[in-house]
Amino acid sequence: MKQAAGEEEDHLAWCAGRIEELGGRLSVLNPLWYGGALAMGMAAGAMGDRWNLAFLAETERQVEEHLAGHLRQLSPADARTRAVVEQMRVEEGGHRSTAVALGAAELPWPLKSVMRLAANIMTTVAYRI
Ligand SMILES: [Fe+2]
Ligand SMILES: [Fe+2]
């Protein structure tokens, strides 16, 4: 988990760096995304390892899908961005496998759907503001 946390810090830094190179900017709601993620992580943590890991595994699975979607949309010519997204996708898969190997439960599908809906709202909002 400590290794995964370090990799997530890398992901944030790689994305921020690449966005800057491309002349873009981070979402102004970034503090809200951090705060929300922390609150969700704390809530999941309070439910014990099996469910905490279940939440982690499902989050990583959905992130992998999300990143695979970016790879389908990104220009083949944009090798730098593709390399960042592909490396993150691989590492998220590793985080998911670790969570499963450590005994993650399987979340009920309604909860997975709620997570997907929340992620769609967050990514849509973050893209715009
Ligand atoms: Fe990540
Ligand atoms: Fe991850």
Residue range of the domain that includes 86: 2-128
20-50 in b/e form (b: 16+ CB < 10 A) is eeeeeeebeeeeeeeeeeeeeeeebeeeeee
What's the pLDDT score for residue 51? 96
Residue-averaged pLDDT of the chain:
95
Output the CA–CA distances (angstroms, integers) from residue 127 to 22, 24, 30, in the order listed: 15, 11, 11
Q: What percent of the chain has pLDDT over 90?
A: 93
Q: Averaged over 23-39, what is the pLDDT?
A: 93
Q: In angstroms, rounded to a whole number, what is the distance separating the alpha carbons of residues 1 and 61?
A: 16
Q: Tell me how many domains the chain contains.
A: 1
Confidence of residue 79 (pLDDT cuts 50, 70, 90): very high
What's the pLDDT score for residue 109? 96
Give the max Cα distance, the chain. 45
Q: In angstroms, rounded to a whole number, what is the distance separating the alpha carbons of residues 46 and 40?
A: 10
Give the predicted TM-score (pTM) of the model. 0.91
Ligand at minimal distance from the CA of 92 is: 2
Ligand 2 center from residue 74 Cα (angstroms): 21
